[in-house]
Structure 1
């Protein structure tokens, strides 16, 4: 079994990783962590720095979880990156963090979580910080 988790260095992203760790431990699953920039912006706050990724890798190794940490740079939207990786590894579950947004905010900027929830071909676990 494989779990894909969308990770950004923020409270919702950390909540997603925590939930994915719990699921991976409970199910004995492999965990694939996906971090990407927003449409090719690799200087923004959602693109994790190397120290964040190293700390995450160390945490997963310490917990004995079979894992892979991917930081994609293909210039796709974050939801497309998550869904692409999930299809590539034949994921059984996708875990994403969500935050509260106004209806206008969703309309203007779209929603990564909404796209993943609507387009995923496997189960999706959405968690709040």
Structure 2
């Protein structure tokens, strides 16, 4: 069994990582961190940066990182990666947006919720 966390460098992505790590530990499942980059190519530096971010948040928790380009479709890339790693749960962060913002910009989180074949846990960053 695997918990997959869609992580980015936002407060929402950080919270998804925290909650996903806790959920994997609670379930006794493997943790896979999915990082989809807005680029055509992923470098070794990109992979090292993701590993460093995860270690900063989770410390010595065991994880596997998958860093991939989004190919122009971030939500599709997240769903595809979750299927590739055999995820039984996907954790993703979300921020509050207005109805107009959702209409004009679409929503990666909404697409992941609708397209993902496994349960999705959506978390928000704590108000500070």
Q: What TM-score, normalized by structure 2, do the two folds share?
A: 0.83
The alignment of Structure 1 onto Structure 2 pairs a total of residues equal to 121
Name whichever of 23-32 and 51-60 sits farther off: 51-60
Q: Which residue of 2 aligns with 1:5?
A: 5
- Tell me, yes or no, if structure 1 residue 54 matches structure 2 residue 51: yes
Aligned to 1:45: none
| Residue 67 (structure 2) pairs with residue 71 (structure 1) | yes
Match of 2:71, SS state, is coil
Q: What is the CA-CA distance between 1:23 and the residue it aligns to?
A: 0.5
- 1:9 and 1:52 in contact (8 A); partners too: no
Query: Does the 8 Å CA contact 1:4/1:82 hold for their aligned counterparts?
Result: no
1:3–1:30 contact (8 Å) kept in structure 2: yes
Match of 1:111 among 107, 112, 125: 107
Separation (CA, whole Å) in 1 of partners of 2:20 and 2:104: 29
Structure 1's 85 and 115: CA in aligned 2 closer, same or farther, altered over 3 A? Answer: same
- For residues 50 and 10 of structure 1, the distance between their equivalents in structure 2, rounded to whole angstroms, comes to 17
